[in-house]
Structure 1
């Protein structure tokens, strides 16, 4: 296990692949840890430096009291990549990870040369919705949200499989303060204007059964950047890297080749 001391917080991260290879960074969704990408990283071509991390309040990273701001989550990522001497990475962000990706690209084009915006948007939901979720979590815990969340995350066939138990357990075992803190960060984020100013390669990935960030919402966001590409993964929900890892890895690998990152 690797822990990066960033001064005000310690983040858990993992590196795979070639330490001298072209960097690709993965940022996961609300309520998950870096294991979200387990099925995909092993399907990627050799020669990549693959970096994953747990954002604050999730996984094995520190969980300071919330609420968090998106600026804080972006700054955590920026400091981690500086500490790891990462430049010119392809940044793959899913859901809140995709929001972090947009914020980082606006701030640090030296760190990010291309984006994969997966199951995300420039703005997700309305502040009132997030405040209701925060209140429900404080009153009843993450467990009370778990079943409804699984319906948004996964297609019906996946929800009928035994694997669902692991993902439900992952969600409910995240620290409540970390979950609430990141809900607050999403609530306060609207990246439509800054993202529309980006000029870099972008691939959008959506799941046809996604109940959190439907395909049209993902497409609307990636269309803000001229020349962007979009890939729809059918029969998958909010986490297509879990349900359809082979198709996800194929789309990602094709993008990496198109931009000559591999």
Structure 2
């Protein structure tokens, strides 16, 4: 079995394992306030021969922060990794803001993305009235000042009673405040609605049935604008079904990539 190798390149912390002959490479982009470990449970359930590339966004995890963040600069970071490993064909999987990054990447690399999976995301997420107070609160008082609210929106009811819950709180609260705020601003300013009809790879759109951050109605409306997209809701999951229901999520991914 080929293990993932974790390293940094141009300030981007990432894990990579090459694909076996004839197997797909899957490129992951994770959500706001998390690092690449949000995919651990899904990766563990994928075929051993599949290639894997996942990374920490700027200002998250172990990646070096940079000023002037946008969805496009985060997509450019992924392109840097794709070029570094000479990956010319790949399936893109994005969760929340990671879904915005994948929507940008599929436009920047037409023909390179063979399949697309958008999870708990939309072409436009929220408004300035939602994001600006959050940015102000985090920069003034830190993420811990609003972490209860965020975590309630992340998970389905009852998950906070599991042993895992404290781990995700720690991941969120240890995200640098400036890095978190910068990505909030990038989400606030992004709108890929007009680009949805131009998405050509086979697309699977997933929503946690109990997601309060990007409600299923919003996610489904996004799917409806992508030609031929398939929409699936995962029961007993909130904003991160890859964490709460990894068996279901991985099964859908395996089915989608054929």
Question: How high is the TM-score relative to the length of structure 2?
Answer: 0.94
The answer for the alignment partner of 1:260 in structure 2 is none
The answer for the alignment partner of 2:187 in structure 1 is 186
- For 1:122 and 1:245, locate their aligned partners in 2 and report how far apart those are by CA, in whole Å: 24
Could you tell me which runs of 5 or more consecutive residues in structure 2 were left unpaired when the two chains were aligned: 1-5
Deviation (angstroms), 1:42: 1.1
The answer for the alignment partner of 1:142 in structure 2 is 143
- For 1:81 and 1:111, locate their aligned partners in 2 and report how far apart those are by CA, in whole Å: 10
Native 8 Å contact 2:70 2:186 kept in 1: yes
Could you tell me which runs of 5 or more consecutive residues in structure 1 were left unpaired when the two chains were aligned: 258-262
Native 8 Å contact 2:29 2:98 kept in 1: yes
**1:34 lines up with 2:36 in the alignment:** yes
The answer for the alignment partner of 2:235 in structure 1 is 234
Q: How does 1:13-28 map onto structure 2 within 5 Å?
A: 13-16=14-17, 18=19, 21-28=23-30
Deviation (angstroms), 1:17: 6.2
SS of residue matched to 1:254? helix
Cα deviation, 1:3-58, whole Å, max 9, x if unaligned, reads 112xxxx1011024636542101110000000000011111123210111111111
- For 1:32 and 1:199, locate their aligned partners in 2 and report how far apart those are by CA, in whole Å: 29
- For 1:4 and 1:221, locate their aligned partners in 2 and report how far apart those are by CA, in whole Å: 33
- For 2:20 and 2:40, locate their aligned partners in 1 and report how far apart those are by CA, in whole Å: 18
The answer for the alignment partner of 2:155 in structure 1 is 154
Cα deviation, 1:142-180, whole Å, max 9, x if unaligned, reads 001111111111112211112100000000101111101
- For 1:78 and 1:17, locate their aligned partners in 2 and report how far apart those are by CA, in whole Å: 16
Where in structure 1 do 4 or more consecutive aligned residues deviate above 2 Å?
A: 16-21
- For 2:121 and 2:114, locate their aligned partners in 1 and report how far apart those are by CA, in whole Å: 19
SS of residue matched to 2:94? strand
The structure-2 alpha-carbon separation of the partners of 1:82 and 1:111, relative to structure 1 and needing over 3 Å to count, comes to farther
The answer for the alignment partner of 2:118 in structure 1 is 117
The answer for the alignment partner of 1:203 in structure 2 is 204
- For 1:127 and 1:77, locate their aligned partners in 2 and report how far apart those are by CA, in whole Å: 26
SS of residue matched to 1:156? coil
Q: How does 1:161-180 map onto structure 2 within 5 Å?
A: 161-180=162-181
Deviation (angstroms), 1:196: 2.0
Single out whichever of 93-102 and 213-222 deviates more from structure 2: 213-222
SS of residue matched to 1:31? coil
The answer for the alignment partner of 1:2 in structure 2 is 7
